[in-house]
């Protein structure tokens, strides 16, 4: 079965950290650029970060720049999202998605992604 599985979400206090994982099964991530998205209640899904398959180049939304780091370990077929200095506005369901492309973009249409994970909840609250 071809799928992406996110993990690592949870409840954290403002200023805290979480590391999300996105593990692929049934296919290799080597040829896929990966995006991380989040969706807050009542809001549209938004791109947070992405990492390219070709050279590992990364992009970040302005709202998370400097606080979040995306990385990939192709040997483990996994992409990570390290989130630091978390804020209440970071709360939402976080999804990873894979698109077979050399370079990633934060502006790829959601329906262009080939695979999506089921999401993991991140709640930032005191």
1 falls in which pLDDT band (50, 70, 90)? confident
Q: What is the pLDDT of residues 71-96, one digit of tens each?
A: 999 999 999 999 999 999 999 999 99
Please give the span between the terminal C-alpha atoms of the chain, in angstroms, as a whole number. Answer: 39
Average pLDDT, the chain: 96
Q: What is the pLDDT of residues 38-66, one digit of tens each?
A: 999 999 999 999 999 999 999 999 999 99
Phi, psi of 23 (to 5 degrees): -105, 135
- Letter string b/e over residues 79-95, b meaning 16 or more CB atoms within 10 A of that residue's CB: bbbebeebeeebbbbbb
């Amino acid at each position: 079965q071809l799928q992406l599985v996110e993990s690592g979400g949870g409840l954290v206090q403002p200023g805290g950290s979480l590391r999300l994982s996105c593990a692929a099964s049934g296919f290799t991530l080597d040829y896929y650029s990966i995006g991380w998205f989040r969706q807050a209640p009542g809001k549209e899904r938004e791109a947070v970060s992405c990492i390219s398959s070709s050279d590992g180049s990364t992009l970040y939304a302005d709202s998370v720049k400097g606080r979040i780091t995306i990385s990939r370990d192709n040997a483990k077929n996994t992409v990570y999202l390290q989130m630091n200095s978390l804020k209440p506005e970071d709360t939402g369901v976080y999804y990873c998605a894979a698109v077979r492309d050399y370079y990633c973009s934060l502006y790829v249409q959601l329906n262009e992604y080939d695979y999506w994970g089921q999401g993991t909840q991140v709640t930032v609250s005191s």
